[in-house]
Amino acid sequence: MKLPIRWLKDYIDISVDGKTLADDLTLSGSKVEGLENPFDVIQNVVTSKIQKIEAHPEADKLVVCTIDINQEEPIVIVTAATNMKEGDVVPVALHNSTLWEGVSIKKGKLRGIVSNGMFCSEEELGLNEKGTCDGLMIMPEDTEIGVDIKEALGLNGGILDLEITSNRPDCLSILGLARETRAMYETPLKKPSLTYHPIPSDVEPVKVSLETPLARRYMAREIVDVTIGESPEWIKARLLEAGVRPVNNMVDLTNFVMLETGQPLHAFDKREITSGIIRVTEAKGGEKFTTLDENERTLKEKTLLINDDKTIIGIAGIMGGLDSEIKEDTTRVILESANFDGVTTRNASSYLNLRTEASTRFDKDIDPNLAELAMNRICHLIETLEIGKVLDYTVDVYNEKREPNHLEVPVSYINGFLGTEISEERMVKILNDLEISTDVKEGILTIETPTFRNDLLIKEDIAEEIARIYGYNNIEATIPHVNAPRGGRYPHQILRRKLEEYLVAQGLYESISYSFISRKDLDKVLIPEDSSLRDMVEIRNPLGEDFSVMRTSMLSSMMESLSRNEARSNDEAYLYEIGKVYLKTENVLPEEKEMLTIGMYGKDLFFHLKGIVEVIADEFALKNVSFRRSDNPFFHPGKSADILLGKKVLGSFGEVHPRVLANYNMDEASYVLEMDLLTLYDSADLERKYTEIPKYPSVTRDIAVLVDDAVLVQEMENIFRKQGGNLLESFTLFDVYKGTQLPEGKKSVAYNLVYRNKERTLTDKEVNKVHDKIVRTLEHVLGATLR
């Protein structure tokens, strides 16, 4: 938002310089990006009055002009211009002057006659675009002679460039910023006049139909006897300083009022509204429309359109159509002052790549009540500048009128919240200066917020308004008094912390990886094509193909870490990672599942990895932990196992399949574990109970049996648990042997079994009975032979 300081002073009387104003606005919350005056480049250009025009004696296309610049002697200017006459007031660049874009002018001879400078056009003063001017700039007859052209045109004073946040669309206007300035300096605000005198007419009013809830309000008035021409210099100067190019008086007034009030306006040539009805509709998609910038655009669904019955005449909130623009011979105009949904306008502006001053305001959800203010203001200016006559009808279709918000805020709360001692009178003054209607009674502020401040919803918002105008620099730094109990960790956080301690104690180092991967990573870890893990959450704006989806397995992340370590010549690696995988669900958001992954290489580590699982099971007091062969294709067949917790699968581990190693260019045999931590946490028990030291002795028996290679020790241990009953206290595997002394396809497995009765000393007969039962079951179920 560009704020010309001279324009601001039309509404508020301030004497501070531009730098001070910029600093104060920034401190009050309206961030000023810069202070500039683009017309400072123009030097030594003054207003002059042509006294005499004579033909050049040596050139048919040149004339010699004697001009008055309010000095003792008139001076001579030689020019080829033809659009001036004696008595005209024109700008003249004198000797050693500088024009727009830094062009230097010096006096010199033109065909034998000295010219003391050069007459200027609007283009040469930066007041119009190149190629749009046909001759010299002719100024009003009552213009003072001999004054600096910047002073005559109101181009001095500087321009502030502000960054307006999305919650303050009211500051996208000169009046809005004048309101802020009034509150800062506590000076009166001079509001613009809104009065006008409509003329009676029997013309049938134009009809308006809002056929979508995305159009909140639409006002229309008709102007007749319109005379299209140039705007007064003061209007053009204000627009140019604000960065808007003048077009003609009617279009310029719509832009002037938009910049002044923050409400976009549009003027239609009534000849193009042949049906007498204006309809606001939504595009169906695929329609073609040529906008004012002469570009044909293809419209998408939900784009808001202004229609003359069935013909599109404008894209609502963005730009009008080429056919309905104001022309030189336009005599009747329909003025539009409307309000449209901000999100819809922003989306349309984005896909059309068409950002205008109007869309900048609409996409921030400006106040629908501004429409009437802006309509009255432009009608006043049309009447004052005698551009046309306003008919006595107004069409106003207003759906769901925006109402003020009401709040009650204790004065003590605001001072306590800010750490200040601001009086209630000062608070009321600040809020009322911001046009936030406020009364105070018994220490309670009763507040009605204006509809243009839709960001004031809670008491903290009111405290912020008071703080920023009172001055953050005037608020002393204080230490807040906070009485809050210290929160503890959630049960799952405690369990995770314990798990990390156990893993580190086992010699593992933590690895951290991205949660997003490539679909190709699933191929590298041999995830089957029909696996649900391939139904992945896609990232809308990925960093690249390698980070385009959210991972459903952490195996690829761990393999990347292991391969990176091997590539850097690390002889061994022992890593763990606790992270999340993201599984699609029927809901909008995926299921975020916390997983543990362990990866290692360096030697034969299968049983080392199994030992870590057993440590975890012991530390978390997991019950009914068992193992079975795994059919996961990621692992080497016969060198992997699933971890069971009762009937639930807790995870799996084993040696990585050689094909996977090849996909990651690894030579070392690697071992990986993946475990579902939610299942672990839900089954964990950190409570420890005291157990007495046994009073009675134990009985130890060794057992060695010959079984088939295919028999798992897990199957033998299941028999120990079931047949050992309460007397079998523990069992330990101490030998597995295969060799030439044994038959082919057989192995010897030896266990140490400990029996004990907690109530009394066991007899050999009791022990033999249970031990023999175990042996017989091994023989019967597993075909074992006692050695």
Which residues sit in the known binding site for Mg(2+)?
A: 455, 461, 464-465
Of residues 242, 253, 262, 46, the one with CA closest to residue 151:
46
Do residues 373 and 450 make contact, with C-beta atoms less than 8 angstroms apart? no
Of residues 315, 317, 314, the one with CA closest to residue 325:
314
Provide the sign of the torsion angle of the four alpha carbons 112, 113, 117, 123, taken in this order: negative
Of residues 65, 121, 55, the one with CA closest to residue 93:
121
Largest Cα–Cα distance in the chain?
Answer: 146
Euclidean distance between CA atoms 126 and 686, whole angstroms? 80
Euclidean distance between CA atoms 270 and 12, whole angstroms? 37
Euclidean distance between CA atoms 461 and 433, whole angstroms? 16
Element (H, E) at 743: none
Of residues 606, 518, 514, the one with CA closest to residue 558:
514
- Return the half-sphere exposure (C-beta side, CA atoms, 13 A cut-off) of residue 763: 3
CA angle centred on 313, ends 310 and 316, rounded to 5°: 105
Phi/psi of residue 130, each to 5°?
A: -65, 140
Contacts of 588 (CB under 8 A, 6+ apart): none
Phi/psi of residue 556, each to 5°?
A: -65, -35
- Return the half-sphere exposure (C-beta side, CA atoms, 13 A cut-off) of residue 132: 14
Helix 459-470 vs helix 424-433: crossing angle, to nearest 10: 90
Euclidean distance between CA atoms 63 and 65, whole angstroms? 6
Euclidean distance between CA atoms 261 and 257, whole angstroms? 6
Q: Binding site: what residues are annotated?
A: 455, 461, 464-465
Tokens of 435: 């046009």
Contacts of 741 (CB under 8 A, 6+ apart): none
Euclidean distance between CA atoms 632 and 635, whole angstroms? 6
Do residues 598 and 672 make contact, with C-beta atoms less than 8 angstroms apart? yes
Of residues 580, 207, 196, 564, the one with CA closest to residue 388:
196
Euclidean distance between CA atoms 185 and 430, whole angstroms? 10
Helix locations, 9-78, DSSP H:
18-27
Do residues 601 and 669 make contact, with C-beta atoms less than 8 angstroms apart? yes
Do residues 203 and 364 make contact, with C-beta atoms less than 8 angstroms apart? no
CB atoms inside a 10 Å sphere around CB 411? 19
- Helix, coil or strand: residue 412: helix
Q: Which pairs with CB-CB distance under 8 Å and at least 24 residues apart come from 637-640?
A: 639/606
Helix 713-724 vs helix 764-782: crossing angle, to nearest 10: 140
